[in-house]
Amino acid sequence: MSKRWQTIVLVGIAATLFLIPNLFWGNLYIVGGDDARLYYLYPLEYLKNFSFNVMSGNTLGGNLGYTPVSYSAPLIVVFLFLKTILPFVNTQLVSYGISFSLGFLFFYLFLQEWNTRKTPFYFWSSVVASLSYLLSLYLLRTFFQSQFISLFLRMAMPGSLYLFVSGLNRKSVSRVIASSLFYSLFGASVYGFPWLLPVLLTLIPLLIYFAVRHGKFFWKMALVFVGVFVLCNVYWIIHYIIPVLYNSGEANYTASLTASSFIQRNNDLIETITYLNSPVHQIAHYLRISWQDRGNITLVQTLGVIYLSVITGAGILLGRVKKDIRVLYLVASSGLLLSMLFETPNFGSWSVRLFQFLNTHIPFFVIFRNMYDKFALAMAFNYAFTLWISFMVIIESKILRPVVYILLVLTLGVTLFRSIPYVSITGGNGVSTRIGALNQDYMDLARYIKNMHTASRFVWYPMTFGDYVYIADRNLPNHYYVGISPLQIFAQASDLAGFYGLQTPGDPELNWKVLGMLQQGKFTEVGNMLKQQNVGYVIVNNEKAPLSVPFVLEQFDFMKSQTEQYKKTILGEKIRDFGSRYSLYAINPEFRSPAVFLSDAEIPFRKSSDGAYDIGPFTTSGKTNLTLMEPYSRLWTLAPPQGTDVMAYGYGNQWALTEPGTFHVKAEFWPNKLIVPSIVFSIVAAVIATVYCVVMWI
């Protein structure tokens, strides 16, 4: 088989993979859920109004505290680019197609870094292994189901690894830099870490192999990779460093992950999740992803055992092949066994104990608590890599060529056949979460709110249990966006959409307290809670909730408990209607509270676009407290300084003014000042690195 034909076959497979989502999945956007996925439809709004906020306005439908959410910005820039140059195509499906085809090609190229033989067998074994990676149930049942932005890791990880390995093999620094740049662009940075770190953990045998083979050069290149990554990602890394350096005191995601109570709670969860998949599942290359997924593995799915049969068979034949292949088999199989162990630690009780030990003693290991999902990419990669090297072992051991080809065809058939049920997109129960665009009433509402320039927050009526909002499609009946509230994306306004959004860093149990208040009809207390959360307006959603997604929207009668009486209690003056779908109200004046106030008086203030507040002038006659209803952090500063910042109402900031006098102060969250410089720094670093790579390749 000539090289030309091999290229034609590869391009044909890549093109087919690209076309699958674009030809067979319609032209609607798959939206909603915890990730919103509206960045495919509205990338510019996402970047302008949401991506780079670090304190207020950095959470959709809730309150996260000081956390950067710009992890997805490079990818969203790519979507924006696609939408600009191809305005009539579905950006989401095109990018899915790209990730499919490039995922396949990069894995193939990665394998070629080990393969110096160009015979048809080696070619086809690489193709089969690459397809088994891309169509692995471990990817299809995790990334493909949730469709979080991290799904681009299926392309970014093999792409980055290929460039890194080729850089090592060719002693090329520019390839290693390109590897780091590629991961920075497509890896969803910090959001991709929960999947990337397991890959690195299971690639430890491979990394040791590189370290032994390339000596100091490997360590230098590893340093180059990390260095370029850090420089190009300063725009979000810096916001993880500041709270540590300044001991800023706010409860944030990072802090909660290291809390011992959280870790202990998750040891129990780990033990439970271990029973979700049995060793049979890992061995048959199958995955259960939820407790609803009760059925046994189907007969077709059990055919996945062919992978481990080939791998084990190759182990028996190891003695017959050259040393370099034997060593590579050892390295790849070790990675596979590590993946299998962590994917679901159920190879005896020792493996559960080991996982719990790591969870308890290794900081942040707790992010792998739902290990069947987090180690899925590692499983897919290691399975495919070990399968490929096993084929190498089998052919090198001089077994009859037809037997080898039968094995290849069987493996390919099993891979394709098993993947079919999970590659197709199906609708559900008459209501679809695929849309063409959000309805015009919602867009009018968002535009109106944006022009209000208010520092107050908005609460939805009714709030939902899953912290989701439901927004109908512009044209199609029964098509809804059901996901976290995108108000921040369109209106730059913070809102409370549901149960989980009620939690605050200062009072993580507030949502349960509110549920109790609602169930007991204590609506005034709920109103006071809204007051303490700086809620100034109520958005009434007049549309009925789509009934087929009640589990997401309604639990514990949370929606039902928000009765007409509750509505009457919290509503103030009507501001206006937006079509028949939405009505905007001021909150009942009893519960209205400005964003900035003194304990005993309201005072003038103005919020500027960068989140700073110009407060005053105002006069005090004695001791009083100045309250700013923005998420609490010690990194809020008053200029000139006034006392110590303490948390107010489990949410905001408060300073004691001890001396009477006239004040005119400026309150600002000073890390906001670093947002633009850090972005500029990252862009400059990325441009320099790119130019270096281009110059070196020319």
Partner 1 sequence: MRHRLIFPSLVLIPVIAGVLFADIAVAFNYSDLPFLIAFVIYTVFILIQRSRSSLTFSIAMLLLIYMGLSYIPTGASRVTERFGEWFYLFFLFGLIQYAIEIRGAQ
Question: Between residues 320 and 513, which has the closer beta carbon with respect to partner 1?
Answer: 320
Tokens at residue 253, please?
């995601």
Interface with partner 1: number of residues (CB under 8 A) = 33
Which listed residue (7, 84, 258, 312) binds partner 1 by CB under 8 A?
A: 312
Give every CB contact of residue 431 below 8 A, 6+ residues apart in sequence. Answer: 478, 479, 480, 546, 547, 548, 549
Query: Which of 533, 531, 495, 501 has the alpha carbon at shortest distance from 515?
Result: 501
Which listed residue (9, 327, 443, 688) binds partner 1 by CB under 8 A?
A: 327
Question: Between residues 197 and 327, which has the closer beta carbon with respect to partner 1?
Answer: 327
Tokens at residue 35, please?
């990730």
Q: Which amino acid is at 55?
A: M
Q: In the bound complex, what is the minimum distance in angstroms from residue 350's beta carbon to partner 1?
A: 5
Tokens at residue 261, please?
């109570």
Confirm or reject binding of residue 297 to partner 1 (CB under 8 A): yes
Which listed residue (4, 323, 361, 544) binds partner 1 by CB under 8 A?
A: 323
Confirm or reject binding of residue 397 to partner 1 (CB under 8 A): no
Tokens at residue 393, please?
């072992």
Confirm or reject binding of residue 300 to partner 1 (CB under 8 A): no
Which listed residue (132, 334, 433, 653) binds partner 1 by CB under 8 A?
A: 334
Q: In the bound complex, what is the minimum distance in angstroms from residue 282's beta carbon to partner 1?
A: 8
- Give the dihedral sign, CA 503/506/508/509: negative
What does the alpha-carbon distance between residue 559 and residue 571 come to, in Å, rounded to a whole number?
17
Name the burial class of residue 662, with classes exposed (0-12), middle (13-18) and buried (19+) by CB atoms within 10 angstroms of its CB: exposed
Segment interacting with partner 1, rule: CB under 8 A, options 164-172, 279-287, 469-477, 611-619: 279-287
Question: Between residues 344 and 569, which has the closer beta carbon with respect to partner 1?
Answer: 344
Give the per-residue contact string, 339-368, with partner 1 (x = CB under 8 A; - = no): -xx----xxxxx------------------
Segment interacting with partner 1, rule: CB under 8 A, options 103-111, 278-286, 427-435, 492-500: 278-286
Question: Between residues 277 and 561, which has the closer beta carbon with respect to partner 1?
Answer: 277
What does the alpha-carbon distance between residue 194 and residue 230 come to, in Å, rounded to a whole number?
17
Q: Does residue 573 contact residue 591 with C-beta atoms inside 8 Å?
A: no
For 572, the enclosing helix (H) or strand (E) is strand 571-578
Q: In the bound complex, what is the minimum distance in angstroms from residue 269's beta carbon to partner 1?
A: 21
Give the per-residue contact string, 224-263, with partner 1 (x = CB under 8 A; - = no): ----------------------------------------
Which listed residue (326, 450, 474, 666) binds partner 1 by CB under 8 A?
A: 326
The region, left, alpha or beta by phi > 0 then psi within -120 to 50, assigned to residue 686 is alpha
Q: Angle, nearest 10°, between helix axes 153-170 and 189-202?
A: 60
Residues in the chain: 698
In the DSSP assignment, the letter for residue 613 is E
Which listed residue (202, 266, 333, 569) binds partner 1 by CB under 8 A?
A: 333
Query: Which of 114, 109, 105, 107 has the alpha carbon at shortest distance from 331?
Result: 114
Which listed residue (173, 283, 289, 367) binds partner 1 by CB under 8 A?
A: 283
Q: In the bound complex, what is the minimum distance in angstroms from residue 451's beta carbon to partner 1?
A: 59
Confirm or reject binding of residue 617 to partner 1 (CB under 8 A): no
* Residues lying near partner 1 in the complex (CB under 8 A): 278-283, 296-297, 302, 305, 308-309, 312-313, 315-319, 323, 326-327, 330, 333-334, 337, 340-341, 346-350
